[in-house]
């Protein structure tokens, strides 16, 4: 069975999707990865828009423009303390809150 080709608008939306959500407003994401995981992060092309910048201390600045933050949040949390969200501020605050809640469970 042959399916009709995607319309240009759908294809354009999916280019910014992290996974399947492509209709959210594009957001610039900047994450600093610790030197201990920088090579692992850099070896994979996580998103078509990503730009990696290795820093003098061995850390990695990872930048991408993705459709919203809903799907990328889990990916960032999966890196634990080795990932620090720099932008956007709202995502940084959300990730910090999730880490604080998790840490509180061990107090």
pLDDT (tens digit, 9 = 90+) per residue, 63-105? 999 988 988 999 999 999 999 999 999 999 999 999 999 999 9
pTM confidence score: 0.78
Return d(Cα 73, Cα 98) in angstroms, integer: 10
Conformation bin of residue 39: beta by default, left when phi > 0, alpha when psi is -120 to 50: alpha
């Amino acid at each position: 069975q042959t399916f009709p080709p995607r319309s240009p608008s759908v294809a354009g939306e999916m280019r910014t999707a992290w996974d399947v959500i492509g209709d959210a407003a594009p957001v610039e994401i900047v994450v600093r990865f610790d030197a201990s995981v920088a090579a692992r992060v850099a070896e994979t092309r996580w998103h078509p828009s990503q730009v990696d910048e290795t820093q003098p201390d061995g850390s990695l600045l990872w930048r991408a423009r993705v459709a919203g933050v809903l799907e990328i949040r889990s990916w960032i949390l999966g890196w634990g303390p080795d990932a620090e969200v720099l932008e956007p501020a709202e995502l940084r605050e959300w990730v910090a809150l999730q880490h604080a809640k998790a840490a509180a469970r061990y107090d």
